[in-house]
Amino acid sequence: MTELIWFRNDLRLGDNPALTAACAGNAAVEACFLPAPGQWADHDWSPNRTDLLLRSLDQLGQDLAALGIPLHIRSIDRFTDTDTELLALCRERGITRIHANEEYAFNERIRDHRLTGALNHQGIALHIYRDQTVVPVDQLKTGNGTPYTVFTPYSRQWWRWVESHPPRLHPAPAARGAPLPPPALPELTAWRSEHVDWLAGGEGAAHRALEGFIDQRLGAYADQRNYPAVPATSQISPYLALGVLSPRQCLVAVQQRTGAESPASAAHTWLNEIAWRDFYIQLLYQFPRLSRHQAFKPETEALPWEPAGANLEAWKAGRTGIPLVDAAMRQLNTTCWMHNRLRMVTAMFLTKNLFVDWRLGEQYFMQQLVDGYLPSNNGGWQWSASTGTDAAPYFRIFNPVTQSERFDPEGTFIRHWVPEIAHLQGKKLFNPNGTVAGYPAPIVDLKQSRQRAIERFKALGKG
């Protein structure tokens, strides 16, 4: 009898509940990963993200081989091909039990549900373990027993739960046999990218990034995280998105490296972002429509979005004529990552000023981001578009010029990414307003478009 650990969104040895369970006994342990490029395409996964995935998978295969655990990489096209491939592997290798960590998006849950039946029919058990969050997705409920849909009360309960349940990490397994040759990776050329060279793959790199952040930048995080010109953020989101790092490891690392029982305020601010991540994951789990291109607030489906067209293309290209928006989009297009404040600014500009359907922005972000992750990306977009849970009130519309004055006061970030206006001084830099040859005039009037958005949302209530 052989145990199989099926890696999905958890490309790590450390703190991996399914891996720990697979290695609990003395039976032989083998591992598998099933790349599904057809499904990746359906989910708008970026080659930037899958490049990091494949490099991390490569590292995982080597680490497993060193422990004497073979990793079988069997490419399929879509989730519907999973049963055939897994059953064949189980038959080949004499596997009777499969362990995997839970995934929370709709298609993944359907896959696992169907699979359980198909496998049981063949006498193979599929064991699923809670993962991806600090607090289990169905743990926190309001007084009515309903899921939380507002962050503030959720986070209160989140902290209370975390303090009464200090996370205990699953240790990485010990060697189970003689070292093996590392597995070969499939080519998947279309899913490779050269734009994410700056980011190293694998668990070791992820932990170095996490520890470097805590040691060098965590103290200043609360004060500086909103300034895109300052490298104040942790930059570990790509690893969390792929499960190369677990959020529980983040929590424990903060406690251990700061030597604090309960987190100080700087640590608190950062860990609250982990709570936001948990919040959005539990929402995706509780409300399947979020996985299916639907608004959390159904009434917002009636909003008369503008035809996307040239405005969407200008936004994507970073040629809207609004410097902070353009700088942010160019950062995204070049580095496959964008500062969080700018994600809000650019999303708000697309959905409120250009009044383009949030789904198109959400999709473009997924197609570019190295850290694209459905729960956070969808949550963030619906927050900005005021269609989601705990969303920005529709009348609270960011003014991208005011945002630049506040969060890029020296213009450092704008000058870096929009060099054609770098010579401008003072407030001119934040809104050249068509005065620089070679840089577009604003493609939309900020004041008028703000008013238009407010009126359209207001009309919803009367309908």
Q: Does 454 interact with DNA (rule: CB under 7 A)?
A: yes
279 is annotated as contributing to ligand binding: yes
Query: Of 122 and 448, which has the nearer Cβ to DNA?
Result: 448
> Does 460 participate in binding DNA (rule CB under 7 A)?
no
Between 369 and 446, CB nearer to DNA: 446
**Contact pattern for DNA over residues 32 through 61, marking x by CB under 7 A:** ------------------------------
Tell me the per-residue interface mask from 392 to 431 with DNA, x by CB under 7 A, - otherwise: x--xxxxx--xx--x-------------------------
Residue 270 assigned ligand-binding role: yes
- Smallest distance from DNA to CB 272, Å: 8
- Judging by beta carbons within 10 Å of its beta carbon (0-12, 13-18, 19+), is residue 74 exposed, middle or buried? middle
| Rg (alpha carbons) of the chain, rounded to whole number | 23
Under rule CB under 7 A, residue 339 binds DNA: no
Q: What angle do CA 242, 94, 79 make, to 5 degrees?
A: 35
- Nearest partner of 345 among 334, 333, 353, judged by Cα: 353
Which of 72, 192, 428, 450 binds DNA (CB under 7 A)? It is 450
In this complex, which beta carbon is closest to DNA, that of residue 270 or of residue 364?
Answer: 270
Interface of this chain with DNA, residues 128 to 167, rule: CB under 7 A = 151
Q: Which long-range contacts (CB under 8 A, 24 or more apart) does 339-347 make?
A: 339/228, 339/233, 340/225, 340/233, 341/225, 341/226, 341/228, 341/403, 341/407, 342/228, 343/380, 343/384, 344/380, 344/383, 344/384, 344/398, 345/398, 345/400, 345/403, 346/315, 347/380, 347/381, 347/384, 347/385
Give catalytic status of residue 191 as yes or no.
Answer: no
What is the per-residue burial (b if ≥16 Cβ within 10 Å, else e) of 20-41? bbbbeeeebbbbbbbbbbebbe
Q: 365 to 384, contacts with DNA by CB under 7 A? A: 383
Residues of the shown chain interacting with DNA in the complex, contacts defined by CB under 7 A? 151, 273, 276, 340-341, 344, 383, 392, 395-399, 402-403, 406, 446-447, 450, 454, 458
Active site residues: 273, 276, 305, 340, 358, 381
